[in-house]
Amino acid sequence: MLHKWVVGLCFSFFMSVLMAASVTATEDEELAQTVFELERSVAILQLSKANLEDYKVMNEKMTSLENRVDFFAVLTLLLCVALVILFIQLRNQNKRLLADGQMIKEKVTAEK
């Protein structure tokens, strides 16, 4: 009889802990969702309170950033083109060196 009571108490303790953990996890998810919604609402409220001068400043910053990105894009393109030209020149020089080496070999064998 005592054995049944101990097993029943252990089972009820285990189930109550398990149910509390699932309730806590659900509450954590709901709390995280609520915090996210509040942060989003605050961001929207801050944007809605911005005046025309704030929008002009943001527009100027975006334009400046676009110009920097455009500059670096052009610079990257030019570097890639320079690398392609360099590799073509190296290939042509390698062909010339191989041809010169072949001619030297032919002269040496002809002289023998």
21-34, pLDDT tens digit by residue? Answer: 565 667 777 888 88
**pLDDT for 19:** 64
C-alpha closest to that of 77 among 85, 88, 65: 85
More confident residue, 2 or 38: 38
- Between CA 87 and CA 58 the distance in angstroms is 43
pTM: 0.45
Q: Which pLDDT tens digit goes with each residue over 60-76?
A: 988 888 888 889 999 99
How confident is the model over 3-61, as pLDDT tens digits? 666 666 666 666 666 666 565 667 777 888 888 888 888 888 777 776 778 778 888 98
Q: Judging by beta carbons within 10 Å of its beta carbon (0-12, 13-18, 19+), is residue 64 exposed, middle or buried?
A: exposed
19: Cα within 13 Å, side-chain hemisphere: 6
Show the CA angle centred on residue 90, arms to residues 89 and 91, nearest 5°.
90
